[in-house]
Amino acid sequence: QVQLAESGGGFVQSGGSLRLSCAATHGSLSSINFMGWYRRAPGQERELVASISNYGRIKYADSVKGRFTISRDNAKNTVYLQMNSLKPEDTGVYYCNTIIFTVENSFLPWGQGTQVTVSS
């Protein structure tokens, strides 16, 4: 099955930017219609912050609208998350995975994620 690996996280100051990458291996990214970026902040549950379909349907969590941009390049088997105007509350571990709508869908195994730390 497809394996996903996140990278690009780091330590930045408030207002800074990062670009995260999610590389799919052992399969085609195009086989996954809806891909999303999730994050898990300290002491909080994992939340979906952005999603994108093969057909360009994009959705963002209210907390990141206007600041984050999700994109995908199926030819490169990569999903990206451009994060601008970062805030301390954006701190967390960021993961990529499929979007789950019903019990017919299932997550791929979660990767280790990539840590994003935003200082004030």
Pairing of strands 114-119, 10-13: parallel
The CA distance from 96 to 48, in Å, is: 9
Q: What is the pLDDT of residue 48?
A: 97
Q: What is the pLDDT of residue 55?
A: 93
Average pLDDT over residues 106-118: 96
SS (H, E, C) 32-75: CCEEEEEEECCCCCCEEEEEEECCCCEEECCCCCCCEEEEEEHH
Query: Nearest 10 degrees: CA dihedral of 7, 90, 50, 80?
Result: -30
The answer to whether 112 touches 6, Cβ cutoff 8 Å, is yes
Condensed to tens digits (0 to 9), the pLDDT of residues 41-98 reads 989 999 999 999 999 999 999 999 999 999 999 999 999 999 999 999 999 999 999 9
